[in-house]
A and B are shown apart, each in its own frame.
Chain A
């Protein structure tokens, strides 16, 4: 390693999405020096893809009048199927309105209230009052009792990220993009920073800091199909797990969305079905009424996903080079409706499928969408297990979402948790000093350099892309929407085998510089460790809760399973060690979610 390349900073934030940038802005506003690492320029982070909006109980629009943090709290806890930390949810709902307004102050062009009478699709007439004119507008999202989702036209995530990044630039926060954190530097008690690999040159570099924050987003891409960006590979969670002392919480809690398009898995909004779209099978038969005579296509997000997968398994999927899919039919909604109310859907279909939804069917399949699990932290954002390590955003398990996240709550989480953790980190670094032992640092870097050398010299036979494909398929087929003992056992065995084989990868290219095959080979073992945490957690949890659905245990079981999974990966182990902890339930005791189906949740939106 080259010591002269070592970068020293007070706060090291790994990840430049909304959560990471919000933490950095808070810490920098308290006068602390921050450095952000990111795989890509901040404005290309996955947060920019969120279109729907963020929840905060402002009560600005007619359908939101009377809303307050209590109602938001209740929606969140029910949505989580009582898996969330209630003190965290309480803190969150109280701060969300402040976060939204602060973003307005920083420049977000939130859509605003235009007063007047309006007619809803179901014929109800409502009126937005003149005294609310110009306040932040809010729209409906599933699973919420009130219209609470603040939005900026059809690009909420984009404008939030651009405004956050403008603050990062204003405050002069250092950003190193194309810089991938590949290991944490720690001694089993305290975290001293991270080793990173430059994706421009392939070189390793040590970053030393008083506080290190993981804000690396979700791991969607370890599943074969995901609505997530292609860089969402979970490496941030993996390096926390690799320490052997930091646990990941509830990794088996994985959310699926019914309508990702085939082949690119880009999300099309649930508004298509909300507005009256049908799902058809290979015989062009509308099958949802067969399963759900009352709610049909409008049954809850997890129920529809499950019915779709079941129908495909029965052999009714449409074959394609990209695997079987079903059709979404919105032709009957009419050109005018489609081109005004579902404009983004038309654009996506035109751009990525070359089809016109007014005339053609849209190929769709249920698709991995959100990771509820992540680096387990306390309510302040301190990671379990290591002092000086924090986490925020989708990569964290703060535990706001429990076993099912509500649409619109994750953008809000990135900003609220970013604010909370940023303030906590600012406090922490005031007391802390940069101290580290040079051998600890150089050993951490050498260990990574050795991995590269080993891959360059490998006599193995395994192909990184082939192994990766098998991991994706195993998770999708055996640890997906339907889960059962036999499949999960098989998944754990297959993944364990793939993990062993991932130690014998041989590159087919020279691996020099920013070589993408080398990057993939370095990442794969960590991704497989996450996959094993998910599969093992799912196998152990003998109940159905939120998005975790066990065919062999279809009911929620509060007597035995009202608890959170903590997955550890001890040094040298070949499988995770699971522990359980209790959930903070200080306000709302477990009850019926009120969605009709025991494990269902109605969620419209993104």
Chain B
């Protein structure tokens, strides 16, 4: 394979120097075999511009820290091989989330807020008994919960969502998927009506306009379309049963 010289056009802005307006800056870098955007950015920082800000933690597509727009598409930088990209690579921070600087955005605050809104924890009256054997669960259910729990809160679905880009209270695919996770968990005792209060709204499932870029872009390949349909169906059922009672 012929060695390429890559050009990276990177979004730059440091909030500590607001007088310098946001701009794109170009860097050149020789490509190495098996180079990922993680390796490339670290080399740029160490060899060319040590002020460059970006976020990596696990560098193994597990922790969800490194999502950014790579040639316009939200994806995890750590699992993007430069070999799969053209010679000219544009890197921008994820939209929707608050900018920390350069390619770094604050996804943590957004996701904690989402978890608080959806009360994303097990609601139960049962008390834990340290002396007792664990409650049994069917393995198929455990695996279904696991499937939804695989979300790594990287924010790709939110960044690519038309609604989330215009409504900052929209819970997005990540929020809806989180709710689905608790809906299928027999340990969570919330009633459909309780879930409806959060999810049966325009901030919840009914805000989705169905473009489904999220489903296509999810780096974990979580079936977001299916999860959305599940929550929607449950919300419709809850709405109908409420109406019948009136």
Contacts and interface: CB of A to CB of B under 8 A. Distances in A.
Real complex partners, A and B? yes
Nearest to A512: B16
Interface string A35-55: 000001101111011000000
A514 B130 contact: no
Contact of A509 (B51, B59, B133): B51
A553 interface: no
A44 B60 contact: no
A516 B130 CA distance: 45
B79 interface: yes
A516 B52 contact: yes
Contacts of B61: 351
A184 B152 CA distance: 32
Given A41-B108, A135-B133, A155-B150, A514 B39 contact: no
Contact of B142 (A109, A177, A178, A202): A109
B90 interface: no
Contacts of B142: 109-112, 152
B62 A158 contact: yes
B35 to A, nearest CB: 8
A513 B128 CA distance: 46
Nearest to B64: A44
A598 interface: no
A230 B66 CA distance: 12
Most chain-A Cβ atoms within 10 A of its Cβ — which of B35, B39, B124, B136?
B136
Contacts of A363: 34
Contacts, number: 208
Nearest to A510: B51
A517 B100 contact: no
B111 A352 contact: no
B237 interface: no
The main secondary structure of chain B at its interface with chain A is loop
Contact of A513 (B79, B101, B107, B152): B101
A136 interface: yes
Contacts of A43: 63-64, 111, 152-153
B81 interface: yes
Contacts of B116: 169
A41 B60 contact: no
A100 B134 CA distance: 9
Interface string A93-130: 00000101110111101111110000000000000000
A508 interface: yes
Contacts of A134: 136-139
Interface stretch (B42-50, B159-167, B201-209): B42-50
Contacts of A516: 45, 50-53
A438 interface: no
B149 A162 contact: yes
Contact of A41 (B32, B59, B111): B111
Contacts of B119: 170
Given A46-B57, A517-B50, A517-B51, 12 more contacts: A43-B63, A48-B152, A49-B60, A105-B187, A109-B145, A109-B185, A158-B62, A158-B150, A167-B121, A178-B100, A230-B59, A509-B51
8 contacts: A45-B57, A107-B185, A110-B134, A114-B139, A159-B149, A175-B112, A351-B79, A516-B51
10 A-B pairs with the lowest CB-CB distances in the bound complex, closest first: A513-B16, A41-B108, A134-B136, A517-B50, A509-B51, A166-B121, A109-B145, A112-B139, A512-B16, A351-B79
